[in-house]
Structure 1
């Protein structure tokens, strides 16, 4: 099943950044485009919770990072070997599934090694300077029987692993006996491969060979089996292959454990792809096992997998700047952007749908798309879009409000069965953000990050029914802004506190003194206390249209 295309609002979401993705996913479904799912990359707050609860809609899943990771490209349906698997079995799997290497794991799936076709080459192409090694194999009768798919005739200690040497019973009986006498190989370590030559089979039994393999699918004579049972030293099996193929397969019945590489380059499933690429580039690894914290094998990928395009796709809504987007957005495919803010759009590798409208909220844009497509949202989706609209425009009283916002609000009201006035009162009276959050949470809750040249700055905003809850918190909020500047290396951090009743705001700023000194709004004095970093901003209620352009202009004047 393909991964959903997640629709994200910005970090530190306000109601529009939560409601618009939910509504856009519903719009996609309404026009027959499936596979879209709303998500969030920041925490909810009391007002968002109130809105979702009122319209009986669940909070979107939290996804804090979409950075592609090793787990996104690794194969999980794996072909593996055990340490006691044979090299022949390894060759079978490599040939059958056209793979480069096989991981070797124990009974608990802990990675023990890796076997590649190159590692197996040493088994079948030993050094010519040691011809005796050409006949050597360390294995068991059971492993040989399994590799040959042979028929057992008489078995003696079939699971005992030992060093053995292969001999072909193709000479005369006389010569076979002389060679046996000349060689230093003990008979109990000798494997004799022979056809239907009764005399050689009998001689091998007399010598006490470890194993007799009768080739061509021929059955041993009754007398040979009787002799083998009497001595009970020699196993006898019947191979379906001819002598040449049998000899080759017996050599391949070597266990993989002494052949496998144990110094293995591995990755974790949580490793970022960008990090994995750098690590792999510095190694000679062609096949990379993926292990968990306990060393257990969970996946596998190759160098080639790292060059494949990332399949994860996302949609950005209510923002278009990467500094405000979910972590990792720059490393995945952004397929659409729906927004109503200034342009700071990310580069893309291919054309995308980019819709940026000069309206008061992203929910306005989504609602217009419903109406233009001739689709009517259900009551809960209509209510969510109204919520995003009235909070972003302060119920059509913000300077960002347009005639289109008012028109859309009027279209949504009968569908949602609630008026904008009633809804806005419910939302703004649902709880004080300043009382319900810690100072650190307040300055980051509805906060947007910006950059100008090499300077980074952040502007947060909260809306309150009056400022009575704000005054006792000035010192703690100032300290929270200082901490924010320090932790995120900001040139300045600002908090705009808007009084919805009076449509006025105050601005609390911390950061570089030259910037604060360049702000031309009057500083606040209250009850005999002068606040050097608090500014009175009558009529300023919009961060997007009023405050951000002003503060950016102040910063540009200092740069100039």
Structure 2
């Protein structure tokens, strides 16, 4: 049996996990019966909420792939965010809404669109291939779009995302506002996580030109509650900076209710945050109002200022 591994990025979020499940299902519907969803890390609370709501088991953890393995990437394409030994795997397809970072010596199927969520693209792929969307699949898709766009309030939200949510909500028979807010709030519960786990929940290595950085984002309904852990968070951040020889660790504590982010910035290039946003860090912190999207409101601005 030639298995096809379907997976999203390391430190998986809801889009990464649900897209793996949805893409594997689409592959099976199209005749690839050996497609199977995997994950590259632990689930966050929000994703646990989604899977528990549906009574679905989490995908199996995948730490590496063997040479020549057939793989499909969803919600990422950067090797730095992917599985170990990806360079020796056979990438069949990529479905993603991030910038292109992949370089291969062979042709493959690529589907990239500048939308708020990978699931929006997958929704189109089901339609284009005349594959019906079940209530369960619709709920997975809808949940991820709500997550990535913060209930369609993020600047990453597109008309395509809105149309997908409208369609999927009808299939899933879900009140988007009620379900979405409950889901997002479930994702803000950090009580069972250690500091190390919090700092790895949604951490991405994003180098701003020559500034080697990690940008981590955690959602909350109360910034002050998270800041009660500030000293411990900073100790953990400084350890990661030292261990990984980083120039900057930027932690975004994003308020899903008021749509802004408290930033903690550490490292020898923490002043890049001040330069990029025209602000002053006080006690390593600054509140960035109306900033909720790492992809649109952090990465391009920080890169341009580096």
Tell me if both proteins adopt one fold, taking TM over 0.5 as the criterion.
yes
- Alpha-carbon offset, residue 451 of structure 1: 3.2
Q: Which residue does the alignment assign to 1:326?
A: 83
- Any stretches of 5+ residues in structure 1 without a counterpart? 69-309, 525-530, 556-560
Q: Which residue does the alignment assign to 1:505?
A: 261
Contact 2:208/2:302, CA 8 A, preserved across alignment: no
What is the aligned counterpart of 1:458 among 214, 222, 228?
214
- Alpha-carbon offset, residue 420 of structure 1: 1.8
What is the aligned counterpart of 1:438 among 194, 204, 229?
194
Q: Structure 1: how far apart are the matches of 2:278 and 2:198?
A: 23
Residue pairs, 1:466-545, within 5 angstroms: 466-513=222-269, 515=272, 518-523=275-280, 531-545=282-296
Q: Which residue does the alignment assign to 1:397?
A: 153
Q: Which residue does the alignment assign to 2:123?
A: 367
The farther-off stretch of 492-501 and 393-402 is 492-501
Q: Structure 2: how far apart are the matches of 1:508 and 1:17?
A: 25
- Alpha-carbon offset, residue 34 of structure 1: 2.0
Residue pairs, 1:315-394, within 5 angstroms: 315-345=72-102, 347-394=103-150
Contact 2:68/2:88, CA 8 A, preserved across alignment: no
CA-to-aligned-CA distance 1:268-321 (integer Å, 9 cap, x gap): xxxxxxxxxxxxxxxxxxxxxxxxxxxxxxxxxxxxxxxxxx431111111111
How many residues of Structure 1 are paired with residues of Structure 2 in the alignment?
305
- Alpha-carbon offset, residue 459 of structure 1: 0.7
Residue pairs, 1:292-303, within 5 angstroms: none
Q: Structure 1: how far apart are the matches of 2:277 and 2:134?
A: 48
- Any stretches of 5+ residues in structure 2 without a counterpart? none
Q: Which residue does the alignment assign to 1:15?
A: 14
Q: Structure 1: how far apart are the matches of 2:28 and 2:118?
A: 18
- Alpha-carbon offset, residue 35 of structure 1: 1.3
SS of the residue aligned with 1:451? coil
- Higher-RCO chain (CA-CA 8 Å, sequence separation at least 6): 1
The 1:437–1:60 alpha-carbon spacing in structure 2 relative to 1, beyond 3 Å, is same
SS of the residue aligned with 2:28? helix
Is it true that 1:36 corresponds to 2:35 in the alignment? yes
- Alpha-carbon offset, residue 468 of structure 1: 2.9
Q: Structure 1: how far apart are the matches of 2:211 and 2:276?
A: 17
Let me know the Cα RMSD of the aligned residues.
1.7
- Could you state the TM-score of these two structures normalised by the residue count of structure 1? 0.53
- Alpha-carbon offset, residue 421 of structure 1: 1.1
Q: Which residue does the alignment assign to 2:4?
A: 5
